[in-house]
Amino acid sequence: MSKETSKIRLQVAKNYPELCKQVVQNILALSRNAIAAHGHFSILLSGGATPKGVYALMASPEYREQFQWHKIHFFWGDERWVSADDAKSNYRMATEAILMKADIPPQNIHPIRTLDGTLETAAAVYEKELASFFDLRNGECPRFDLILLGLGQDGHTASLFPGDPALSETNRLVAAVSQKEMDPAERITVTLPVINHAAVIFFLASGREKSQALKTALEGKGRQLPAQQVNPPNGEVWWFADQPAASLLRKGQGESS
């Protein structure tokens, strides 16, 4: 892992399986460093489809035994307002891909609880979860060892969408979102202050349909896309993309493998 901070790194893999392998190897290295440094590894999971292969590979026989699961704490960057067993649930996706396959203590799994009360109360409950685990005082932000983020074709990340009020939230750690063109429209998301307080952020982008958003995110001027507003002053941002997603980038960008 690079020692420089707030520097953006790009790793381009020839295909999705190779991307997953690169991501898992770096998560494993980060987890070992974090556990050695402060006794645990806190990871904020991304939802959507792209990270599924990463989670499955982490729990595969090839890697499962290398992780110190009892010292790893799993949180979610966002959750759809559906039941935990709904096919659209990010919790269900991660549970099926990794949490039920690896020997992870239940107390290490910190889901965003849905359908109890309102979106706003659920957001407040998750803020309390973060405050408790990270022992936060008023106004403090959690510092995740690693935050995994996906990239939407519109440049959204987590459930922070272009123009959404949650994107400009600077006080709350967790916000309620309603984006009618998304399915489902209602979501809970961590806010930019949480994301930009991370030690390390891994963005994952796979497929040609992400090529324009990735080009704008990495080469565009300004900060119009939510993904462009991810810029941790005391952290590192690594982009992991496969060649189709990276196909519009200026040649020579990133380390290819």
**Which residues of the chain form contacts with ligand 6PG (CB under 6 A)?**
46-50, 77-78, 90, 150-152, 156-159
Q: How far is the CB of 32 from ligand 6PG (least distance, A)?
A: 26
CB of residue 8 to ligand 6PG, shortest distance in Å: 18
Ramachandran region of residue 115, left (φ > 0), alpha (ψ -120 to 50) or beta? left
Query: In the Cβ-directed half-sphere of 108, how many Cα atoms lie within 13 Å?
Result: 19
Q: Which is nearer to ligand 6PG, 64 or 111 (CB)?
A: 111
Q: Which is nearer to ligand 6PG, 48 or 193 (CB)?
A: 48
- The nearest distance, CB 188 to ligand 6PG, in angstroms, is 10
CB-count exposure of residue 32 (10 Å: 0-12, 13-18, 19+) = middle
**Residue 195 contacts residue 230 (beta carbons within 8 Å):** yes
**Nearest CA-CA partner of 237 in 250, 251, 254, 213:** 254
Structure tokens at 111: 């889901």
- Closest to ligand 6PG by CB, 47 or 232: 47
* Residue 141 beta carbon to ligand 6PG: minimum distance, rounded to whole angstroms: 19
Of the two residues 26 and 50, which places its CB atom closer to ligand 6PG in the complex?
50
* 184: preceding bond cis by omega (within 30 degrees): yes
CB of residue 50 to ligand 6PG, shortest distance in Å: 3
- The tally of CA atoms less than 13 A away on the side-chain side of residue 46 is 26
| Closer of 50 and 108 to ligand 6PG (Cβ) | 50
